[in-house]
Amino acid sequence: MAFIELNVLNNTAEPILGIDLGTTNSLAALWRDGRPEILKPEGHPGRIPSALYFPKDGGEPAVGQVVRERALVDPEGTIFSIKRFMGCGLADVKDELESVQFPASETAEGLLQFDVRGRKLTPQEISARILMRVQDVACKALGGHKLKRAVITVPAYFDDTQRQATHDAARIAGIDVARIINEPTAASLAYGLDQRKEGKIAVYDLGGGTFDISILSIDSGVFRVLSTSGDTHLGGDDLDRTLVALALEELIPKVGQETAQDPGFLQGLRLAAERCKHELSLNPEADFHFSIPDQDLRWHRRVKRAEFEKLIGPLVARTLDACRRVLSDAKLQASDIDEVVLVGGSTRVPAVRKAVEEFFGRAPHNELDPDQVVALGAAVQGHILSGGTRDILLMDVTSLSLGLETMGGAVSKIVVRNSPIPCQVTEGFTTYADNQTGIDFNIVQGERELAADCRSLGRFKLTGIPPMPAGMAKVSVRFQLDANGVLNVTAREESTGAIAEIEVQPMHGLQDDQVESMLQASYDNAQDDFDHRRAADLKVEIGTMIRASESNMEIASQALDPESLADLKDAIQKGHDVATLKDVNEVQAVRDELEQATLPLAAILMDSVAKKAVAGKHLSEI
């Protein structure tokens, strides 16, 4: 007897929520109409602070936004950042306990618990209240429909006990956990990076109180955590603190030391600092306002973004130290990373983004809201687990690749076909000739290997490159495709900052059947295209070799034996004539002959240059 396995799509399965249970904020998302969506009821941001307020009289605790206000008047009754204690015993968190004003003890089972105004609660029970509130907000957004199943995210470094504690919190909240997944994995899912065949992803997550950096590998849709690092005491709160310190310098002489240490006063000042910080993410200058009407205190100061960036410089540098560690743990270099993902509200700070971009040498993904991306990814996972498919057609994707014509007429594809949009990709280019001060860019669309066979969308020129040897200029070209399908291409020369850009509409004037026939043509011509492209690339290589040889001709004439010199001249001449050759094998033969003929010259040059530094390289690379 044989069994046949049927893959039944169970459409009646209950949808599964995605929940980001954060240290600072928590929120839920759900897959709807072909994409994940944050669940927000009318007039509510969807996000709720992961904090509880316990009233003095022992009444029911409040959760969410109100807690931040209560903290102003009764700071002793609030509890924040409970996630730090998940799955920990009393002994594990001795130092950490200083940040909580409630006495801690252990339950009979050895679980940590806090004595909060007369009731004893474990971090699991406190997290359960936050989860219930998240579920409530989701229910409201869904018009009263309550969902019981959820995918919940945890930091990649959470151990089994911490994951179990998260499970327990959900159980107490009456939520059925479909799966616990890692936050960086969720963020990568939100960006559709599971669609990559393979690659390495760095997820940089700077939240409210913690910093996590993770390196993931993706292999046929499966994510693996290669290494994690971070700092459990570094986040947006620390950025706020730099502004609080700035304010206190001026405020202490006004209000006195004692007031300046009052928890309510400090909490108010922290919130004001945070508001100022948020504004600085948008504007180059912001107002830092702080007032306590009862005490007739009104204080205000302009803060420049540059000033703020200087204050937070050391903190940003610490995150980069962790990035260095995580790479070395994974035995990788920054240049091995294929995708960088920004997570956490604090990555909205422009200086943070810039630092990450410079560190990894590529523009990070930031098309999605960094404080929503984990919940969105959890919802993607929930959708898959509830039997949904991640049909690529449901997502907005580019139907044809977008790229640039490179030297020799080949195409360098930048945004490949089927990339989810919006998206942004940056690639590095350089100059081909010595002292080249400009580069012409031809933006092309299509799957063919040669620019001549693709559709040209527009041309532009980057000028102002300082004269330098070929290959030395660093030009980064960014393709940014927005949700409306508008493509913005920016080219930037790194040393001078010279910039040129163009905006085009790739799908303008293209009918579906034209897209079809462009795809068909690329299949039909695959082998020929491959050969043409290879020939084009070889011709470029030959050009480079010829230039390298010709610029050393004087040395060659003096130092080479007559036979080698004749061979070299002959090979160079053939190289010059290569333009007319069509057959890739013939071009290959010319290239190989040229390489052979340059070997004696290369050997001589190697002797005259530092031997070690150039050993094993071709002439054109020296």
Run of H or E residues at 274: helix 263-282
Q: Of these, 281, 431, 445, 480, which contacts ligand ADP (CB under 6 A)?
A: 281
Are residues 460 and 438 in contact, defined by beta-carbon separation less than 8 angstroms? Answer: no
Are residues 424 and 363 in contact, defined by beta-carbon separation less than 8 angstroms? Answer: yes
Q: Is 561 a catalytic residue?
A: no
d(C-alpha 311, C-alpha 305), whole Å: 10
Residue 419, amino acid? S
Q: Which stretch binds ligand ADP (CB under 6 A): 196-204, 274-282, 404-412, 516-524?
A: 274-282
Residue appearing with tokens 């969308």: 457
- 29 DSSP β-pair partners: 18, 38
Q: For residues 204 and 360, which CB has a smaller minimum distance to Mg ion in the complex?
A: 204
The nearest distance, CB 237 to Mg ion, in angstroms, is: 13
State yes or no: residue 348 binds ligand ADP (CB under 6 A).
Answer: yes
d(C-alpha 63, C-alpha 411), whole Å: 55
Determine which one of 183, 194, 371, 453 is catalytic: 183
State yes or no: residue 149 binds ligand ADP (CB under 6 A).
Answer: no
Draw the binding track, 307-346, toward ligand ADP (x: CB under 6 A; -: no contact).
Answer: -------------------------------------xxx
What residues from 15 to 34 belong to the interface with ligand ADP (CB under 6 A)?
Answer: 22-25
Q: Is 56 a catalytic residue?
A: no
Draw the binding track, 7-26, toward Mg ion (x: CB under 5 A; -: no contact).
Answer: ---------------x----
Determine which one of 20, 371, 449, 529 is catalytic: 20
Determine which one of 168, 205, 447, 567 is catalytic: 205
d(C-alpha 202, C-alpha 237), whole Å: 23
d(C-alpha 227, C-alpha 330), whole Å: 6
- Alpha carbon distances (Å) from 412 to 93, 541, 565: 53, 16, 36
Instruction: Give the orientation angle of helix 526-550 with respect to helix 512-524, to 10 degrees.
Output: 70
Q: For residues 323 and 349, which CB has a smaller minimum distance to ligand ADP in the complex?
A: 349
The nearest distance, CB 373 to Mg ion, in angstroms, is: 9
Q: For residues 23 and 242, which CB has a smaller minimum distance to ligand ADP in the complex?
A: 23
The nearest distance, CB 228 to Mg ion, in angstroms, is: 14
Q: Is 219 a catalytic residue?
A: no
The nearest distance, CB 225 to Mg ion, in angstroms, is: 16
Q: For residues 154 and 444, which CB has a smaller minimum distance to Mg ion in the complex?
A: 154
The nearest distance, CB 191 to Mg ion, in angstroms, is: 16
What residues from 203 to 222 belong to the interface with Mg ion (CB under 5 A)?
Answer: 207
Cα of first residue to Cα of last residue in the chain, in angstroms, is 69
Q: Of these, 201, 269, 349, 356, which contacts ligand ADP (CB under 6 A)?
A: 349
Residue number, nearest CB to ligand ADP: 236
State yes or no: residue 371 binds ligand ADP (CB under 6 A).
Answer: yes
The structure tokens listed for 469 are 């040897």
d(C-alpha 556, C-alpha 268), whole Å: 76
> Under 8 Å CB-to-CB from 242, ≥6 apart: which residues?
308, 311, 312, 315
What residues from 188 to 227 belong to the interface with ligand ADP (CB under 6 A)?
Answer: 207-210
Instruction: Quickly list H helices, 437-583.
Output: 512-524, 526-550, 553-559, 562-576
Run of H or E residues at 226: strand 222-231
- 229 DSSP β-pair partners: 213
Torsion sign (Cα): 162, 168, 170, 176: positive
Q: For residues 281 and 522, which CB has a smaller minimum distance to ligand ADP in the complex?
A: 281
Are residues 486 and 508 in contact, defined by beta-carbon separation less than 8 angstroms? Answer: no
d(C-alpha 300, C-alpha 288), whole Å: 5
The structure tokens listed for 591 are 């290239």
Q: Which stretch binds ligand ADP (CB under 6 A): 5-13, 272-280, 485-493, 598-606?
A: 272-280
Draw the binding track, 224-253, toward ligand ADP (x: CB under 6 A; -: no contact).
Answer: -----------xxx----------------
Q: Is 83 a catalytic residue?
A: yes
Site of interaction with ligand ADP (CB under 6 A):
22-25, 207-210, 235-237, 274, 277-278, 281, 344-346, 348-349, 371
Site of interaction with Mg ion (CB under 5 A):
22, 207
Active site residues: 20, 83, 183, 205
